[in-house]
Structure 1
Amino acid sequence: MTGKTNPIIQTDKLAEWHQSMAGVIASRVASTADWATPIANLNFFRRDEPAEPCICLVEPSVVVVVQGAKQMLIGSEAYRYDCSRYLITSLDLPASSGVLEASREQPCLGFWLKLDLRLLAELIAQGHLPPPRARAAAKSVGLGTITPAILEPFNRLLALLDEPEAIDIMAPLIQREIHYRLLTGDQAALLRQIAAIDSQGYRIAKAIDWLKVNFSSALRIEELAARVQMSVPTFHHHFRQLTAMSPLQYQKWLRLNEAKRLMLNEHKDAAGAAYEVGYESPSQFSREYSRLFGAPPKRDIETLRRQATGAG
């Protein structure tokens, strides 16, 4: 929908689409959960009550709430998003995600679509996009305005779940349209600074890719900066601007979360998990784990297991 559409008609249409998508999600996610849909890179979420922020790694994605409200904390910045604003991230970011508005009668419902950075780069390279409406901020997360042009293709994408035989053909086409709409929306500058291969953001994204694979290895900043063709001061500056962390802090976050996974899912003890993710000192691991998660490793894992079984 483009042109000088009546604002009241636009508002009614957005409300209609929100209601439709809420019905699609509620019919498939019956209680608090995340659900991977049959459509590649599209995931649903449902929360039945407000919740304090919990630690997570946010992939490059666009997150849309169709009922309720959520908040993402990245560094010292808080981003509230609801039916009027979507959250967009262009890097893998350590964050904390909380639920602001939800109840059993009116659960918080929404979805996230993982962004295809190659598709964004392809669309940019074609050169037919209008210039961004604003200058690029030195950030990798933003809040965009929900408009009919943004929401309508998402509504069609979700509707494909009732037409499964069409998913393989139609979903890639609609997702391409969504990426185009994002590149012509009010967060276009944020996306372009990451997807453009000659940008500093693109180089930081490549450094993050390396860290995710090699987080247990010793980190030599000079070598990583050289790998992405940046000077050490420039690398440090842009890395912190885009992630709200230093490279060493980012590596530590990856290590601690992987150690938590090893203890919780693979039943490793704290010392074994610490060594496996690259720590040489279990006591240092325990101190840093407690600082991040609020409890020593053993107590934290025991608490999580009790919660999972409904005990205590």
Structure 2
Amino acid sequence: MYKHSELAAQIARHVARTGMADTAISRLSLFRADEPTMPLPTVYEASLCLIAQGSKRVSLADQCLTYDAEHYLLVSLDLPLVGHVTQASSEAPYLCAKIDIDQSTLADLIMEEGERAPKANQPALAVYRSDDDLVDAACRLVRLLDRPEGIPALAPLIEREILYRLLTGPHGPTLRYMAVADSHLSQVSRAISTIRSAFDQCLRIDEIAAAAGMSPSSLHAHFKAVTQMTPLEYQKQLRLQEARRLMLSEGVSAGSAGFAVGYDSPSQFSREYSRLFGAPPRQDILRLQNSESILMPL
């Protein structure tokens, strides 16, 4: 656990209070929480989440996973999860490093390794026992923040090492399956990218299916199998989360936020917002403004 202690110390130096810190390394984000948080729905991007201290629980429909300093979370494609910090205090805060997966580097590594038959029906969301070499590489990546002049040359090399260790570890079959152009995971990933790029527009299922290279019926079945929701339900969640961000971060009114993300009916927006976040827009935003501890998405 020595490397976890080192990683925790590095994260704590760069994130002094509860919240998320973007870093000079584009695919690295750091998180801290000084107390447990309430469950929050959000879309987790394809990433590796390494906890240095504390613990977190995430759920996707009926699937519930807990991870901590002894286990890492790997998300293979952008998924709508509900997560909350379960163990944290001011003396021992929750500290986490999130490293986004670079799909082009991953594909390059797979090609270098040579062809291996990917296994179908691999989980897109999984927790595995932590690996000392993986934590060591993460420590070196975070350490670059103290020497920013080395980031352009060294960060890509360390990120590549991290992906290599994931690829040769227990999650490797899923990552290879993701890289196969006609695999269901890869097709669902393309559908998700299409939805995320135009979530505020009126999207037709046949357009999303065409972008994914699937029939509408196949898209519906496999999309729901992976994300536990339909493509249009996924789009709705993206809209509501963006509306929440606009109201909270930019002070936009509920009516303007709903319109900005594609809603024509204020009453429909308020109704669906309440269903997802548990309170009408104004009440929810006031609750968030009064409690910083619940604003921890990862």
TM-score, structure 2 normalization: 0.91
Larger Rg: 1 or 2? 1
Q: Distance in 2 between matches of 1:131 and 1:179?
A: 19
Helix, strand or coil: the match of 1:57?
Answer: strand
Give the aligned length: 292
* 1:220 matched to 2:204: yes
The match for 1:109 is: 95
Q: Distance in 2 between matches of 1:51 and 1:271?
A: 28
Q: Is the 8 A contact 2:3 2:132 kept in 1?
A: no
Higher RCO (CA < 8 A, seq sep 6+):
2
Instruction: Tell me which moved more, 144-153 or 109-118.
Output: 144-153
* 1:24 matched to 2:38: no
The match for 2:214 is: 230
Shift of 1:64: 0.4
Q: Is the 8 A contact 2:122 2:173 kept in 1?
A: no
Residues 130 and 230 (structure 1), Cα distance of their counterparts in 2 relative to 1, 3 Å cut: closer
Shift of 1:198: 2.8
Shift of 1:131: 6.8
The match for 1:210 is: 194
Q: Distance in 1 between matches of 2:98 and 2:188?
A: 23
Shift of 1:307: 4.1
| Partner residue of 2:270 out of 275, 286, 300 | 286
Amino acid at match of 1:54: L
Q: Distance in 1 between matches of 2:142 and 2:13?
A: 12
Residues 21 and 129 (structure 1), Cα distance of their counterparts in 2 relative to 1, 3 Å cut: farther
The 5 Å alignment of 1:1-312 reads 15-128=1-114, 135-307=119-291
Q: Distance in 2 between matches of 1:215 and 1:180?
A: 33
Residues 178 and 273 (structure 1), Cα distance of their counterparts in 2 relative to 1, 3 Å cut: same
Helix, strand or coil: the match of 1:52?
Answer: coil
The match for 2:296 is: none
Mind listing any 5+ residue stretches in structure 1 that lack a counterpart?
1-14
Amino acid at match of 2:249: N
Mind listing any 5+ residue stretches in structure 2 that lack a counterpart?
293-298
Instruction: Tell me which moved more, 162-171 or 279-288.
Output: 162-171
Q: Distance in 1 between matches of 2:115 and 2:167?
A: 8
Amino acid at match of 1:72: V
Q: Is the 8 A contact 1:118 1:195 kept in 2?
A: no
Amino acid at match of 1:193: Y
Q: What fraction of aligned residue pairs are identical, expressed as a percent? A: 43
Residues 103 and 234 (structure 1), Cα distance of their counterparts in 2 relative to 1, 3 Å cut: same
CA RMSD of superposed structures (Å) = 1.9
User: For 1:83-118, what per-residue CA distance to the aligned partner results, in whole angstroms no more than 9, with x for missing partners?
Assistant: 111001121112122111111111111211011011
Q: Distance in 2 between matches of 1:285 and 1:138?
A: 36
Q: Distance in 1 between matches of 2:211 and 2:114?
A: 32
Q: Distance in 2 between matches of 1:75 and 1:203?
A: 21
Residues 123 and 262 (structure 1), Cα distance of their counterparts in 2 relative to 1, 3 Å cut: same
Q: Is the 8 A contact 1:138 1:242 kept in 2?
A: no
Q: Is the 8 A contact 1:68 1:82 kept in 2?
A: yes
Residues 34 and 222 (structure 1), Cα distance of their counterparts in 2 relative to 1, 3 Å cut: same
